[in-house]
């Protein structure tokens, strides 16, 4: 094979030079500019296809500028279907895997048509050959490949605007485009599972009625169904197997144009709901050295992927076979161009980054000042969005919760595990529970980061649903076809005595109460809460905690179940209303527990059931399962020295098996205590208000939130603050 400099071929007369920027296929109203980066190719052919998928023409891109191959077709129009064949050395030991027999998707394709049909011709080498991937396959893969399509991006947004919900008011609702509407009775069958189904007014109205402020969609970038799953009659339902970073997944479109996604965003924005996308820039669907050649591998394998010292093999920090090389400037450009496209052209409001530690990796390891993280921080578009990291990967030093730089929020699995352990009654979980309730300052209180940097969650798409968390002791993933070997065994779940559904009313009532406890912990804690769609009405996946391949009723939301659990949904609505009404529950600064001499109070105080301040012996008592958290509204809410005028709140939690009598604190200048919400059975025999010093009986496995208003006070002499 040759290392000679590339020699662009002479084009047909109608092909013009075009421009090396922007990358991708760009319609300008007169024709289409095609531009493709490849540093090591020797020739790039643009392949045109008709509506039936037949290849009609191959055109060599005539120019090569700054490692970008480009050309302009004045007779091309939106709707034109195309792909690339890229020539160059096939030298796997040197990291090069060019094979012009393989049709390749444009990494910048704005629309992808057709689905991948698994066939041996998709592989750059001969499957089953004694030399494995060192062999060379000459079969044409075009009949089995999806294709890229030129689009016209024009769309009338009207008066659409970004809701721009402040982080302190943000409540995230994680869901799946397909699973959310496949069984919805008000969504027409032809729209179910698509963006059009999500924009049905009854769907939007329901989401808005919960009080959430942002809808986080699981991956909607074009992705591939793994062959081994299709062989089992399954699919890659979650979509963490990206193939195109600019194109919506074809299966989620009920119409022929990408305007469908834009319409969905406009409907959510009209309802004051932000749209966040779960994105997968850490790896692609091409797998390891034995995977197919679909796009980046055949365009410039040595540039796009992180390769091992033995350049035939890939660094696999993702567990999927390959890792995208964001240390390369053009790969970094690909990802940031994709993000800006979805932010500006598609108008999404933020992103959740799968295995985000990968994105901060440089050759020496994870770096807060890595190229991608720095690029996002300084970018005038991206820096204004909500950026959320899943702060771990499978590589060395991959667990980075709390390790991302300012401007980022992070999934906090410590919150998830602690909340589960505390309400399960695990010994020694009390102190950590208090830390998680107050925003996980141990992880995030540095470099001016705020409590909202902690994305709190109890459940997510990966793992048990809330219902299953309190109904199953063990995972039940038999339907996945892996003999129940997949999925995590560390669930911190509790079935309360019976595995799975039960007709025992006592157990069922306790399970419902525990679900309310976990929901209340999530929505009343400092930080940014994320609610898994369907948890508000006790959705079940029948104990499957790794339903990534279940595109069926295991994962599709059961809206009939929503009707039957309307009381739990109303409880969630009330929790979110309380969160939004009381700023004390969503502070912009971390609690310090410091004494405020002006009011003779602390911003947060921790109380024993006897009404005493907790000390070290209390915190380290493994048998202690109850505590009170007193948040005084008169403490300084910001760094400014002006008194606050907020209500004082008291959260009481009892994770033990026995009832506890809590002595309510008697505070100077305060009136009586009133109960705002409780997870236990409402006691009709209790007075509507209780004075400080009186006792409140709290049932086993229960939580309550109380309010006490303070009387008007005057600032001390010499202060210029008005009366409050």
For the chain, report the end-to-end CA distance as a whole number of angstroms: 81
Q: Are 271 and 265 in contact (CB under 8 A)?
A: no
> Most distant CA pair in the chain: distance in Å?
92
Using the predicted structure, report yes or no on whether residue 8 has a pLDDT greater than 80: no
What per-residue confidence (pLDDT) applies to 636? Answer: 59
Active site residue 67: no
In contact, 264 and 215? CB cutoff 8 Å: no
Indicate the pLDDT class of residue 578, thresholds 50, 70 and 90. Answer: very high
Provide the pLDDT for residue 669. 74
Distances in whole angstroms, Cα of residue 630 to Cα of each of 373, 462, 466, 627: 38, 34, 28, 10
Beta strand spans in 380-441 (E): 386-389, 409-412
| Three-state secondary-structure class, residue 173 | strand
CA dihedral 346, 349, 354, 356 (to 10 degrees): 120
* Cβ proximity of 307 and 317 under 8 Å: no
Bridge partners of 69, per DSSP, are 36, 64
Q: In this model, does residue 109 exceed pLDDT 80?
A: yes
Q: How confident is the model at residue 5 (pLDDT cuts 50, 70, 90)?
A: low
Those residues with Cβ within 8 angstroms of residue 89's Cβ, 6 or more apart along the chain or in another chain:
1, 2, 3, 40, 42, 96, 98
Q: Which of 354, 445, 535, 632 is labelled catalytic?
A: 354
CA distance 522 to 352: 19
Calculate the average pLDDT of the chain: 93
| Mean per-residue pLDDT, 49-74 | 96
Spot the catalytic one: 286, 390, 432, 445. Answer: 390
**How would you classify the pairing of strands 695-698 and 350-353?**
unpaired
pLDDT at 155 exceeding the cut of 70: yes
657-704 pLDDT, tens digit per residue, is 999 999 999 887 777 899 999 999 877 777 778 999 999 999 999 999
CA atoms within 13 A on the CB side of 91: 10
pLDDT at 681: 84
The pLDDT of residue 503 is 96
Take residue 381 and report the two structure tokens written for it: 């578009």
Query: Sheet harboring 604-607: ordered strands across?
Result: 604-607, 626-631, 648-654, 702-708, 673-678, 689-690
In whole angstroms, what is the distance from residue 649 CA to residue 706 CA? Answer: 6
List 663's β-bridge partners, or say none.
695
Predicted pLDDT of residue 144: 98
- The 10s digit of each residue's pLDDT in 331-360 is 999 999 999 999 999 999 999 999 999 999
Query: How confident is the model at residue 642, as a pLDDT?
Result: 45
User: Is the pLDDT at 98 greater than 50, yes or no?
Assistant: yes
Partners of 222 in the beta sheet? 244
- The reply to whether 390 belongs to the active site is yes
> pTM, whole model, 2 decimals?
0.95
CA distances from 366 to 61, 122, 188, 334, 372 (A): 38, 34, 47, 20, 11
Share of the chain above pLDDT 90, in %: 88
Residues composing the chain: 724
- pLDDT of res. 479: 97
Q: What does the pLDDT read at residue 80?
A: 97
Which pLDDT score, from 0 to 100, does residue 610 have?
A: 96
Q: In the structure, what pLDDT confidence band is assigned to residue 635 with cuts at 50, 70 and 90?
A: low
């Amino acid at each position: 094979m040759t290392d000679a400099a590339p020699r662009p071929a002479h084009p047909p007369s109608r092909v013009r030079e075009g421009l090396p920027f922007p990358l991708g296929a760009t319609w300008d109203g007169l024709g289409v500019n095609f531009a493709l980066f490849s540093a090591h190719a020797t020739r790039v052919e643009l392949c045109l296809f008709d509506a039936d998928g037949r290849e009609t023409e191959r055109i060599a891109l005539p120019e090569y500028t700054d490692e970008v191959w480009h050309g302009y077709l004045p007779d091309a129009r939106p709707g034109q279907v195309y792909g690339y064949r890229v020539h160059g050395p096939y030298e796997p030991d040197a990291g090069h895997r060019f094979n012009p027999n393989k049709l390749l998707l444009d990494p910048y394709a704005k629309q992808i048509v057709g689905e991948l049909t698994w066939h041996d011709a998709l592989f750059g080498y001969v499957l089953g050959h004694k030399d494995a991937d060192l062999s060379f396959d000459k079969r044409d893969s075009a009949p089995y490949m999806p294709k890229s399509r030129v689009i016209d991006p024009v769309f009338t947004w009207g008066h659409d605007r970004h809701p721009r919900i402040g982080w302190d008011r943000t409540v995230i609702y994680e869901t799946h485009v397909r699973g959310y509407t496949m069984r919805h009775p008000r969504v027409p069958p032809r729209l179910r599972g698509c963006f059009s189904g999500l924009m049905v007014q009854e769907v939007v109205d329901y989401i808005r009625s919960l009080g959430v402020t942002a809808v986080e969609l699981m991956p909607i970038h074009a992705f591939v169904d793994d062959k081994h799953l299709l062989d089992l009659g399954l699919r890659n339902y979650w979509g963490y197997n990206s193939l195109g970073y600019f194109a919506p997944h074809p299966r989620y479109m009920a119409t022929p144009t990408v305007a469908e996604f834009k319409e969905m965003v406009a409907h959510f924005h009209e309802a004051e709901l932000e749209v966040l996308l779960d994105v997968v820039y850490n790896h692609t669907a091409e797998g390891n050295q034995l995977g197919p050649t679909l796009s980046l591998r055949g365009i410039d394998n040595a540039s796009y992927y992180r390769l091992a010292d033995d350049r035939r093999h890939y660094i696999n920090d993702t567990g999927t076979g390959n890792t995208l090389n964001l240390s390369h400037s053009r790969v970094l450009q690909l990802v940031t161009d994709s993000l800006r496209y979805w932010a500006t052209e598609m108008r999404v409001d933020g992103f959740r980054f799968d295995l985000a530690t990968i994105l901060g990796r440089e050759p020496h390891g994870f770096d807060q000042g890595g190229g991608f993280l720095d690029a996002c921080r300084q970018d005038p578009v991206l820096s204004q969005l909500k950026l959320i990291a899943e702060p771990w990967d499978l590589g060395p030093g991959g667990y980075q919760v709390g390790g991302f730089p300012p401007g980022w929020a992070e999934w906090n699995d410590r919150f998830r595990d602690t909340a589960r352990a505390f309400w399960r009654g695990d010994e020694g979980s009390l102190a950590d529970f208090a830390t998680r309730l107050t925003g996980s300052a141990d992880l995030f209180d540095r470099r001016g980061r705020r409590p909202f940097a902690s994305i709190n969650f109890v459940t997510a798409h990966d793992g048990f649903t809330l219902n299953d968390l309190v109904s199953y002791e063990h995972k039940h993933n038999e339907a996945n076809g892996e003999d129940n070997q997949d999925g995590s065994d560390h669930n911190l779940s509790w079935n309360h005595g019976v595995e799975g559904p039960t007709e025992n009313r006592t157990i069922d009532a306790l399970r419902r109460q525990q679900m309310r406890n976990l929901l209340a912990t999530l929505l009343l804690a400092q930080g940014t809460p994320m609610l898994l769609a369907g948890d508000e009405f006790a959705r079940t996946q029948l104990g499957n905690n790794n339903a990534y391949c279940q595109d069926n009723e295991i994962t599709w939301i059961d809206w009939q179940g929503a009707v039957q659990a309307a009381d739990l949904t109303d409880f969630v609505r009330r929790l979110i209303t309380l969160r939004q009404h009381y700023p004390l529950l969503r502070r912009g600064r971390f609690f310090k527990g410091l004494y405020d001499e002006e009011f003779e109070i602390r911003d947060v105080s921790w109380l024993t059931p006897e009404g005493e301040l907790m000390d070290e012996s209390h915190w380290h008592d493994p048998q202690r399962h109850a505590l009170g958290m007193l948040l005084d509204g008169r403490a300084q809410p910001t760094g400014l020295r002006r008194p606050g005028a907020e209500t004082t709140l008291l959260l009481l939690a009892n994770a033990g098996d026995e009832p506890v009598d809590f002595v309510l604190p008697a505070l100077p200048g305060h009136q009586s205590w009133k109960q705002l919400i409780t997870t236990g059975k409402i006691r009709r025999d209790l007075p509507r208000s209780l004075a400080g010093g009186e006792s409140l009986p709290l049932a086993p496995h229960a939580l309550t939130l109380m309010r006490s208003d303070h009387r008007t006070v005057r600032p001390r002499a010499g202060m210029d603050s008005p009366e409050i």
